[in-house]
Structure 1
Amino acid sequence: MSLATIDRAPLAPVSPAPAPAPAPSQPGDSRRLRAVPTGTEARGFVLYVGIDEAKAAAAGTDLGALVEQLKALVGDLAPAAETYAAVALAPVGAGGRDVDVVRLALQDPAALAQHRHTEEAPSPKHRTGVVIDISRKRVVLDGDPAALTYKEFELLQYLVLREGRTIERAEIIASLWSAGDDEIPNERTIDVHVRRLRAKLGDYEDIVRTVRGVGYRFDRHADVSIRQASTPSPDFF
């Protein structure tokens, strides 16, 4: 029995569907470099690599080999790219993170700004306490004179000379203000005078304590020094 031969027409090759073209970048596209402001274009980038010769040697390479391999990688990914390498030098034993030293040595604007801010930042104030100088009518806070008015110093002095005793507002007014004064506070506005005094005492404001419903009291701390006058104060009798 003979087998019938069935002719089969060759199948036409099927071309794969063309891949969709990538959508053009939009201004809000996440692929756009965020560091590039509107109206400008990116012309390249800087990659800071922080590694010293000892660390490179420990990894089985050296700085020159790293540079050449990175340049070769860029050439493979983007043949039209131009590359330039610079080595950052720093004094031996300078310390700090390698990448921070590199950024500073190569004049990275952000690193320069941070370095400038660090240099200009004031050092913490050395606390030496409060000196209440009755004889010279002045208060010194951590070595700097406080800008108290005459009446503010009188108020503080009145409390200091009666240390530990709570002074009523009416007594303060009667003792520190006279009928000839331009403005005589009442028991409510005396709180304003105390608040201003405390503000000028800064970190030491709590040496003037409020006794709720009564008045004010001076509390001496270990960091408070009082220099008495050689003669009794005229307001202490």
Structure 2
Amino acid sequence: MAPATNATPPTGKNQARGFALYVGIDEATAAANGIDLAKIVEALKNLTTQLVPDAQTYAAVALAPEQAGGRDVDVVRLALQEPSAVARHRGDESASDKEGSGVTIDISRKRILIDDETAPLTFKEFELLQFLVIHKGLTVSRSELIAALWRADDVDIPNERTIDVHVRRLRAKLGRFEDIVRTVRGIGYRYDTHADVTVLHASAPSPDMF
């Protein structure tokens, strides 16, 4: 007779065995904050050990070309081959549909979908996001936004300070994807290619493509 065993038979189901934390920070940014990447990694590993002494950790540094555009964390996700980031980078629409999440900026229909739900953006909020998307990778100053999106005879023309209010309202409606509109301190705003964003362009140039 075979000896009794207390081992739990496999169920065939997947279970969480750990997690990956992607951190977007380059050496220059770390140095500006008085630290280096190695110390950040060591601190995170030490914290994990303090919380769960038996936990195993592994760290990998993401290397990418200096000219790689986009948020640092998205560059890291792509460099380390995180599946959803790779799928979106390749334009794998079927993978995006299966995930059922992310942002679709539909320039042809003038609408934003967040997790397949239409976001309640005003016309001006959509124009603001559209302008940044069309000029992706470029930092757009507040004065440029005002000149492009408001006519001289508009009664509600913002100044460079109140343009921030419009951006805040836009970000609030983008929810957890608010950081697709990046602030460039002292200059203005920018949109970079984002792993969770799909942009649908019109088949013909729109008259408001700036």
- Residue identity over aligned pairs, in percent, reads 67
Q: Secondary structure at the match of 1:172?
A: helix
Query: Which string of whole-angstrom CA distances, capped at 9 and with x for unpartnered residues, describes residues 117-149 of structure 1?
Result: xxxxxxxxx751100000000000001000000
Equivalent residue for 1:193, pick from 162, 166, 170: 166
Within 5 Å, give how 1:89-104 maps onto structure 2.
none
What's the secondary structure of 1:154's corresponding residue? helix
Quote the Cα distance in structure 2 between the aligned partners of 1:219 and 1:127. Answer: 22
Q: Give the secondary structure class of the aligned counterpart of 2:169.
A: helix
> Where do 4+ consecutive residues of structure 1 move more than 3 Å?
none
The residue type paired with residue 196 of structure 1 is R
Larger relative contact order (Cα-Cα within 8 Å, sequence gap ≥ 6): 2
Checking the alignment, whether the CA contact within 8 Å between 1:148 and 1:197 is kept in structure 2 is yes
Residue 160 (1) aligns with residue 104 (2): no
Q: Which residue of structure 2 lines up, in the alignment, with residue 229 of structure 1?
A: 202
- Kindly report the root-mean-square deviation, in angstroms, between the aligned alpha carbons of the 2 structures: 1.2
Structure 1 runs not aligned, ≥5 long? 1-125
In the alignment, does 2:184 pair up with 1:211?
Answer: yes
* 8 A contact 1:131–1:226 mirrored in 2: yes
Aligned length: 112
Residues 39-68 of structure 1 show CA distances to partners (whole Å, capped at 9, x for unaligned) of xxxxxxxxxxxxxxxxxxxxxxxxxxxxxx
Q: Structure 2 unaligned segments of length 5 or more: list them.
A: 1-98
CA–CA separation in structure 2 for the residues paired with 1:174 and 1:154: 12
- AA in 2 matched with 1:207: I
Distance 2:195 2:189 in 1: 20
Matches within 5 A, 1:8-87: none
Give CA-to-partner distance per residue, 1:186-214, whole Å, 9 cap, x none.
00000000000000000100100000000
In structure 2, the residue matched to 1:145 is 118
Amino acid aligned to 1:172: L
Indicate the residue corresponding to 1:170 in structure 2.
143
Q: Equivalent residue for 2:80? A: none
